[in-house]
Every structure is written in structure tokens, then in C-alpha cells.
Structure 1
């Protein structure tokens, strides 16, 4: 069965180094919290708010050993006036037998405001 594993993080500045480092931190936390191997991942979508333009956050995944062949796509988040700024979101589609209620979604920095009900 394929399950979605969600995550999000905010950055302080629209700089390439920060985008890559923050995305890598988020991905690593999602991977560790859910014991995800690259072979179990069908695809990964990464969205960014309009103010994140200095780099493709997907580049961070390419820096994680063993994740070179995982399909990843970057896209723009819907621009909502009340939305969180400087935000990077990840949706990882994972083949797993883990129940949906047991998936650990990861929200870091100001992104915890997106889903405070999922904070563990």
C-alpha cells in the first residue's frame, strides 16, 4: 500500500545554502522517524511558497546517500494571503504496511502551525 508522509519546514532567508540545508534536515527527519528506505519510495513532491526562489529544494535529496534514483519533483504552493511565508513542504509517497495513524509527519520551525494536531 502507498501512504503519504508529510513534512514541512520554514527558512529564515531565501538563500540557496539555507534552502538545501533546511530541506535536507526535513527529509532526514522524515526518513528517520518513519524508517523509510529509498527503495520503498514511489515519488516525492516538494512545494515551495512564492518567496522561495534561490534553489530547487530537490537538490537536497540528491545529497542523501542512496536517494539518487528516487523520482522527485518541485512545484509551487498555492499562494494564499494568510499562508506561512518561506515554507518548503514535502509529500513522500511510500510503499508501507504501516497504518495511516502510525505515520509520523514532520513539521519544523514555523511550519508546526500548519498541522499542530499532528505534532508528536
Structure 2
């Protein structure tokens, strides 16, 4: 079994606790479902948020979803002029039998513009 990186991002409509937690939960669930990965398969998860998101920690969504025994970390994205606003990104490290080419990265809502090549794949966009 290998450790693989699962990537995803979601653009939120607003900076509110409900939006951050709800959007992060939805993204994380879609990422795990798209790759057949369960909580027990996770090694660690890194969450980032753009500087305009300050209402909640994205990792709080994972804790609410039952990931109390998975190492989680939040960080702030670089404040690059012209960057897509209100985006939560996730890099999850998981044990899986899937080869790299079969990993599905998930980009939801407005974040689909970040990786149009990935958003068109199964599980890539709603």
C-alpha cells in the first residue's frame, strides 16, 4: 500500500463560520468518496485558506466529521494579487492501493477554474 496525496479546493460564497465549515466538510467528503478512502486510511491533512477567510479553521470541519485521531494542520495561502478569493484547499495524505494516475482530485464551485483539467474528471466538480 502506498501513501498518495489527494488534492482539492472549494470557493466559498462568503466568509462565515457556516460557509467555511460546510464547504470544507463537503470538499473533504467528496475527495474521500472520489478515491474510495475512509477516515482510517488518512495519514494527515493540510488545509489552507485564502487570507480573506477568517471566520473558522477549516480543520474544525474535519474534527466535526469525526477525524479526531488524524493529524490536521491549517495554514494561510499566499496573498497574491488577483488570486481567486475565498478558497479553502486541502492536501490529504492517504494510504491507498490506487496508482497516482487513478487519484481523483476535486475542485468544487468556483475553484474549478484553478484546475480545469482536474475538474472535468469524475468527482472533480459539481
Instruction: Give the equivalent residue in structure 1 for 2:81.
Output: 81
Question: 1:36-115 alignment to 2 at 5 Å?
Answer: 36-65=37-66, 67-115=67-115
3-state secondary structure, aligned to 1:42: strand
Q: Which runs of 4+ in 1 moved over 2 A?
A: none
Q: TM-score, structure 2 length as denominator?
A: 0.90
In the alignment, the residues of structure 2 paired with residue 89 and residue 19 of structure 1 have an alpha-carbon distance, to the nearest angstrom, of 11
RMSD of aligned alpha carbons: 0.9
Structure 1 alignment gaps of length 5 or more: none
- Deviation of residue 97 (structure 1)? 2.1
In the alignment, the residues of structure 1 paired with residue 56 and residue 118 of structure 2 have an alpha-carbon distance, to the nearest angstrom, of 28
In the alignment, the residues of structure 2 paired with residue 78 and residue 113 of structure 1 have an alpha-carbon distance, to the nearest angstrom, of 18
In the alignment, the residues of structure 1 paired with residue 13 and residue 100 of structure 2 have an alpha-carbon distance, to the nearest angstrom, of 32
Instruction: Give the equivalent residue in structure 2 for 1:25.
Output: 26
Structure 2 alignment gaps of length 5 or more: 122-126
In the alignment, the residues of structure 2 paired with residue 97 and residue 29 of structure 1 have an alpha-carbon distance, to the nearest angstrom, of 18
Paired residue total: 119
Instruction: Give the equivalent residue in structure 1 for 2:5.
Output: 4
